C-alpha cells in the first residue's frame, strides 16, 4: 500500500532533530585526520580495530576506509544500561570478540564517551587478556564535570553535555542513519537529566 504524503513526512529520518551540531563534511574531514594520526601511530604494525556495537559502526567503517595501514577488525557489544538517555553504571558483555587479542595491538573504536563507564569497563576487560597495547579512539566526548577519568587517546570532537543523535548514534533505535551529528529536541524524550 502506498502511504500518504503526510504519513511519509511523519517518518522522515530527521523528525525530532532540534539542530545540527556537527555537519557531515566536518565529520569526514576529522575522520581523515584521525586516520592519518592512527597510521602514523601504528607504523608497520597491524592493529585490531574493535568497534563497540552498535553506535560505533558508522564511525568504524569510515575510519578504517581512510586508514592506509594494514589492519583487522572485530566487534563487541555491551549492554546499554539504565533507560534510554541516562546511565545506571552497570555494564555487561552481550557479544564478545571473535579474535584472541593476547600480544596484539588493539584499538577500541567508540562513538561517544559520556560518563566514561562503558569505556572503563571495556578497557578493564581487554587489558586482562594481555594485549600488547590498548588504545582508544572516540568520535565524540562530552564535556561533563562528573565524568570519570578514563583513557581516551584520540577524540574527534569535544561536545556540550546534550543528548546527540546521528552518524550511528541513536535514540530508541532511531536516527542512526543521519549523516550528521544532531541534537535531539528535548520534547522527544522525558526524564533526561544531565
By CB under 6 A, name the binding residues for ligand IMP.
55, 80, 87, 110-119, 163-165, 169
Pairing of strands 93-95, 48-53: unpaired
Cα–Cα dist 30/180, whole Å: 13
The nearer residue to ligand IMP, 69 or 147, going by C-beta atoms, is 147
Report the length, in residues, of the chain. 194
User: Sign of torsion, CA 84 58 32 41?
Assistant: positive
The three-class DSSP label of residue 138 is strand
Catalytic residues: 114
The nearer residue to ligand IMP, 67 or 140, going by C-beta atoms, is 140
Residue 188 Cβ vs ligand IMP, minimum distance, rounded to whole Å: 12
Residue 93 Cβ vs ligand IMP, minimum distance, rounded to whole Å: 14
Whether omega for the bond prior to residue 136 falls within 30 degrees of 0, making it cis, is no
The nearer residue to ligand IMP, 69 or 80, going by C-beta atoms, is 80
The nearer residue to ligand IMP, 35 or 112, going by C-beta atoms, is 112
Residue 103 Cβ vs ligand IMP, minimum distance, rounded to whole Å: 27
Angle between helical axes of 57-66 and 24-42 (0-180°, round to 10): 60
Residue 176 Cβ vs ligand IMP, minimum distance, rounded to whole Å: 10
Cell of 72: 583487522
Cα–Cα dist 165/112, whole Å: 10
- By C-alpha distance, which of 38, 95, 94, 92 is closest to 63? 38
Amino acid at each position: 500500500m502506498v502511504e500518504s504524503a503526510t504519513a511519509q513526512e511523519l517518518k522522515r529520518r530527521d523528525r525530532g532533530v532540534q539542530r545540527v551540531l556537527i555537519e557531515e563534511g566536518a565529520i569526514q574531514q576529522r575522520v581523515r585526520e584521525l586516520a592519518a594520526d592512527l597510521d602514523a601511530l601504528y607504523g608497520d604494525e597491524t592493529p585490531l580495530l574493535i568497534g563497540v556495537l552498535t553506535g560505533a559502526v558508522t564511525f568504524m567503517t569510515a575510519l578504517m576506509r581512510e586508514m592506509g595501514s594494514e589492519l583487522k577488525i572485530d566487534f563487541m557489544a555491551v549492554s546499554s544500561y539504565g533507560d534510554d538517555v541516562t546511565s545506571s553504571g552497570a555494564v555487561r558483555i552481550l557479544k564478545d570478540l571473535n579474535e584472541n587479542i593476547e600480544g596484539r595491538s588493539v584499538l577500541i573504536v567508540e562513538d561517544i564517551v559520556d560518563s566514561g563507564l562503558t569505556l572503563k569497563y571495556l578497557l578493564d576487560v581487554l587489558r586482562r587478556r594481555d594485549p600488547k597495547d590498548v588504545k582508544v579512539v572516540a568520535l565524540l566526548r562530552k564535556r561533563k564535570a562528573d565524568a570519570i577519568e578514563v583513557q581516551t587517546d584520540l577524540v574527534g570532537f569535544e561536545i556540550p553535555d546534550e543528548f546527540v543523535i546521528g552518524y550511528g548514534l541513536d535514540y530508541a533505535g532511531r536516527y542512526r542513519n543521519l549523516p550528521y551529528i544532531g541534537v535531539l529536541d528535548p520534547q522527544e524524550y522525558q526524564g533526561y537529566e544531565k
